[in-house]
Amino acid sequence: MSEITLFKQAGVAIPDYIRADDDDFTRKMAGNPGGKSISIEGGVWRMIVGGEEIAKNEDRAMNFVVVNGSPNVSRVFYAGKYVKGEASAPACFSADGKAPDPTAVSPQSSACATCPQNVEGSGDGTSRACRYFQRIAVALEGDIGGNVYRLQLPAKSIFGKPVGEKMPFQAYARFLAGHGVPMKGVVTEARFDTSQSVPVLTFRSVRPLTRDEWELSLQQGSTPDAMQAIETKFASPTKRAAAPAAALPNTFSPEATAHMSEPTKRESKKDAPPAPPKDLNSVLSAWSSDDGDE
């Protein structure tokens, strides 16, 4: 199959009077492909841009600043089974955790509390088919003024009691509030709980922000990217092919992603050689927590 060219007529260049450095109109017409997010699927940190995984990091912990977050714990219900590589819209979801969202495709009940999908055993085993989640907006410790990512926390990362320094998100927020410390003012370490069979994060504070970092954190929390990150919305169902494994870097770091843009059409594997692997020492220096992996 021949590659798609910019113009139907071959060999045509874009005139200087048409080319623009900042064409906001065209970007708006293109719609929102999903923004930037960090997924914890499979117990691995995965960078998602425009719905496509472009990088991953297998460290146990990651440091970032929580610049904003949804005040509500939301709910979502999928009617079918999850199929890797296929994005599907949920049948029903609730932004406030109390009632189905008006845009839900197939509301399951008038209220979440009385919904049959909220009954133990409605999901696999004794679990509930309708699941809790909460979205937060984070900026990487080494790039607080750069990209803002969505991180969606599952129920086991939100609720529960702290075990030593291992705290689920709500317990972590209570801990900081009890000491009069704003979450936006500290570097937070999120660490995978290796005692769990599914990806579960625990949280703890690493250090206070410097004055300059604090100003950046406050600014980032009110940006359009941060607002989009914490919205409870879902993309329309689409089928997408997985990116070639050779084109994906093994890790991502603040330095590598500081100016990451939305993905463009990838060249075929035979035309574009794979990106060289990053130096392991630099990755560990950028990502590892102070006390190392557990």
Which pLDDT tens digit goes with each residue over 129-170?
Answer: 999 999 999 999 999 999 999 999 999 999 999 988 889 999
Distance CA 17, CA 40 (A): 45
Return the higher-pLDDT residue of 151 and 125.
151
What is the total residue count of the chain? Answer: 294
pLDDT of 234: 77
Residue type for position 46 = R
Of 90-99, 226-235, 239-248, where does mean pLDDT reach its minimum?
239-248
pLDDT reading at 274 higher than 50: no
Token representation of residue 137: 């907006």
Q: How far is CA 205 from the centre of its chain?
A: 20
Largest Cα–Cα distance of the chain, in whole Å? Answer: 66
pLDDT of 256: 58
Tell me if the pTM is above 0.85: no
Contact 57, 251 (CB under 8 A): yes
What's the rounded mean pLDDT across residues 178-182?
A: 90
Provide the H-helix boundaries in 185-258.
211-221, 224-230, 254-257
pLDDT reading at 265 higher than 50: no
Residue 95 DSSP class: S
Distance CA 60, CA 38 (A): 14
Cα atoms in the Cβ-side hemisphere of radius 13 Å centred on 233: 11
What's the rounded mean pLDDT across residues 37-61?
A: 91
Distance CA 195, CA 192 (A): 9
Distance CA 270, CA 272 (A): 6
The strand pairing partners of 201, in sequence order, are 192
Helix (H) or strand (E) holding 287: helix 280-287
Tally of CB atoms within 10 A around 284? 14
pLDDT of 272: 45
Contact 57, 289 (CB under 8 A): no
Give the CA-trace dihedral at 134, 136, 142, 148, to 10 degrees: 130
Distance CA 106, CA 110 (A): 11
* Residue % of the chain over a pLDDT of 90: 53
